């Protein structure tokens, strides 16, 4: 009987030791991705043009590895995209031959665009980007086609609020410059039903989509805003290449179409539909 007790004690001790060691094991830390064997740059990274002026961009690729690199096909397809319309307006097909770059060597790819779209028409003023995105690269050159009459430059502080489906959005400020438009808004869950067990909604806003138009013209996409989470709500800032406003414009319509909420990690995203619409006189 005594031997049986000792044996059981030894087995229990071994099991506890194994459990302790297993509990101390940490999940493996993922290794950082190796750096690419090349460096890519665009010149200029950002440039402003009047309508009709030729756009010239030069991409440089440097082999920073110890062995040769082969790009196939070369050059890659190059596309010019409208930022506000989120569509390709012009493209150049890829080449058909491979190209090898030796270690330490640099090659250049020159791109020229006459500001015409795929139908041969002049593109409207606004922001465009020319992404050199082949071979897992993403190095855009930002291009602004300016208004012939110039852009509006002033700051407007509407401080107007709209409440839709229990969410209140206040349009605080609009900064109009020659290179773009920056919009500041503030959102609060004033009456939205909060799930049981949720004590704070500080980080509830996860994604916001918005669009805008000038004088009843083309509806453009404002993209997703940056977010500042504060104790009483979320500040929304659209400042990523939103188009400038022409100097002779009369009205800006800024419309927040949807807000995606996330109350907890185990709760799926919940889409709240607006719109929260603001009509801003400009003259």
Q: Where are the domains of the chain?
A: 38-145, 154-281
**Residue-level pLDDT at 196:** 79
Please identify which residue in the block is written with the tokens 């690729």: 61
Q: Print pLDDT tens along the chain (283 aa).
A: 444 333 344 434 444 444 444 444 455 566 655 667 778 888 888 899 999 999 999 988 899 988 998 888 888 888 899 988 888 999 888 888 898 999 999 989 888 999 999 999 999 999 998 766 566 666 778 999 999 999 999 999 999 999 999 999 999 999 999 999 999 999 999 888 887 777 788 888 999 999 999 999 999 999 899 999 998 899 999 998 789 999 999 999 999 999 999 887 677 788 999 999 999 999 8
- The partner residues of 180 in beta bridges, in order of sequence, read 177
Q: Output the CA torsion sign for 171, 238, 145, 92.
A: negative
**Residue-level pLDDT at 238:** 97
Tokens of 193: 């039903």
**Residue-level pLDDT at 3:** 40
CA atoms within 13 A on the CB side of 260: 11
Tokens of 27: 């999940």
Task: Please give the CATH architecture assigned to the domain spanning 154-281.
Answer: Sandwich (2.60)
Q: Which of 150, 138, 208, 216 is nearest to 179 (CA)?
A: 150
Tokens of 82: 């409208």
Same fold, 38-145 and 154-281: yes
**Residue-level pLDDT at 19:** 45
Q: Where are the alpha helices (DSSP H) in the chain?
A: 2-24
| pTM confidence score | 0.79
Q: Output the CA torsion sign for 215, 220, 222, 224.
A: positive
Q: Where do the DSSP E strands lie in the chain?
A: 38-43, 46-49, 55-63, 69-74, 78-82, 87-92, 97-101, 106-113, 126-132, 139-145, 154-156, 160-164, 167-177, 180-188, 205-214, 220-221, 226-230, 233-238, 251-261, 270-281
**Residue-level pLDDT at 6:** 38
Q: Output the CA torsion sign for 60, 64, 68, 72.
A: negative
Could you say which of 2.30.110.10, 1.10.357.10, 3.20.20.100, 2.60.40.10 is the CATH number of the domain covering 38-145?
Answer: 2.60.40.10
CA torsion 216→219→222→223, rounded to 10°?
A: 160
- Do strands 126-132 and 106-113 pair parallel, antiparallel, or not at all (unpaired)? unpaired
Concatenated DSSP letters of 173-215: EEEEETTEEEEEEEEE-SSPPPPTT----TT-EEEEEEEEEET
**Residue-level pLDDT at 35:** 64
**Residue-level pLDDT at 5:** 39
Q: Which of 37, 144, 135, 124 is nearest to 78 (CA)?
A: 135
- Do strands 139-145 and 126-132 pair parallel, antiparallel, or not at all (unpaired)? antiparallel
């Amino acid at each position: 009987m005594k031997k049986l007790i000792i044996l059981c004690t030894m087995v229990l001790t071994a099991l506890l030791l194994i459990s302790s060691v297993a509990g101390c094991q940490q999940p493996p830390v993922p290794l950082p991705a190796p750096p690419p064997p090349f460096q890519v740059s665009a010149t200029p990274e950002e440039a402003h043009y009047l309508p009709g002026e030729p756009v010239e961009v030069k991409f440089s690729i440097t082999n920073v590895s110890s062995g040769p690199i082969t790009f196939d096909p070369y050059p890659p397809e190059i596309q010019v995209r409208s930022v506000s319309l989120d569509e390709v307006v012009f493209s150049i097909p890829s080449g058909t031959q491979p190209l090898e770059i030796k270690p330490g060597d640099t090659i250049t790819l020159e791109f020229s665009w006459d500001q015409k779209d795929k139908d041969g028409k002049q593109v409207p003023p606004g922001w465009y980007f020319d992404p050199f995105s082949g071979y897992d690269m993403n190095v855009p050159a930002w291009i602004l086609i300016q208004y012939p009459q110039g852009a509006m430059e002033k700051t407007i502080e509407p401080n107007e609020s709209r409440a839709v489906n229990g969410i209140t959005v206040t349009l605080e400020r609009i900064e109009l410059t020659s290179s773009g438009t920056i919009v500041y808004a503030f959102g609060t869950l004033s009456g939205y039903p909060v799930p049981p067990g949720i004590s704070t909604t500080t980080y509830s806003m996860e994604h916001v989509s918005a669009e805008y138009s000038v004088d009843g013209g083309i509806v453009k996409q404002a993209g997703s805003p940056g977010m500042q989470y504060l104790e009483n709500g979320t500040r929304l800032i659209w400042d990523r290449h939103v188009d400038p406003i022409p100097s002779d414009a009369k009205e800006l319509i800024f419309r927040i179409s949807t807000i995606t909420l996330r109350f907890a990690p185990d709760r799926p995203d919940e889409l709240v539909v607006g719109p929260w619409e603001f009509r801003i006189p400009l003259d």
